Amino acid sequence: MNHLALIEKTQSLIAAGDIVGAESALSELADTEGDGALMVVLEQLPPKDILAVIREYDHSKESIVNLLVSPSMFAHAVVIEKQYKDLSRTHLRGMMNAVIFRDGADPVAFLTAIGDLEGGSEALADYFSEKWSRIEAFARTGTFDTVEDDGNMLSEDALYSSAYVPARLEQDEVADQDWMEMAWLLRYQCPDLFIETVLVLRAKARAHDLGLGEYEDGEEDDGKFETSDTDRGKATPAKLDSDEESAI
């Protein structure tokens, strides 16, 4: 199939909410013309469409897109995921775990690519949003045990001073391919990004304590949308900012 025709077909399927069909069309290209051909197509798809396929596809099933998406492509998709306005973060965590911990991947390459983009540390903070106290404990004590933590947060200077303290936990002790391993990799492989993420988490916690909703902190409407109709494979929002559509 002509690549331009496939791109148009994929985008039409995504716009119609047929995420399974879009993923299938991309998989067929890889089967017939090889992974290299699929990479060429993925490089021409806007981040919002790559995000739709990665985010909405059933992560219990293997996806060729998840297996081949590059760190740069994935990072651009991750930083606009917030526009789905999904307060549960379920889809964000699912897609990040599926891609960053895929077989043969270099998780640090993905984390570095995310951290290099504006909004990267915010996306990571969203990923850890339900584990804020455990992440604070990890920053302070090097373990995820909140019982051991005395509840006093390290200052920003102290966070940077402790960035290169030897690990108390080995990676294989937290190798869950989930939030604990992600936090471990951030702290000991990307310490500056880990600190940025902790600081964003604190800012979000302060906003919550002040009674500000997740999207009620004075920001203007930026095209975020509800996710009640965007469960896996059913639909994807059609509106994203034009600069984000062409970010790649």
Residue-wise pLDDT for 198-233, tens only, equals 999 999 888 877 776 554 444 443 444 344 444 444
pLDDT at 164: 84
What is the spatial distance between Cα 199 and Cα 196, in angstroms, rounded to a whole number?
A: 5
What is the spatial distance between Cα 98 and Cα 90, in angstroms, rounded to a whole number?
A: 12
Please give the model's pTM, rounded to 2 decimal places.
Answer: 0.83
pLDDT at 218: 40
114: nearest Cα among 92, 134, 131 = 92
128: nearest Cα among 116, 140, 139 = 139
pLDDT at 41: 95
What is the spatial distance between Cα 214 and Cα 87, in angstroms, rounded to a whole number?
A: 8
pLDDT at 109: 98
pLDDT at 62: 83
What is the spatial distance between Cα 238 and Cα 77, in angstroms, rounded to a whole number?
A: 15
Low-confidence ranges of the chain (pLDDT < 70): 1, 148-151, 212-248
pLDDT at 215: 47
pLDDT at 150: 65
pLDDT at 205: 85
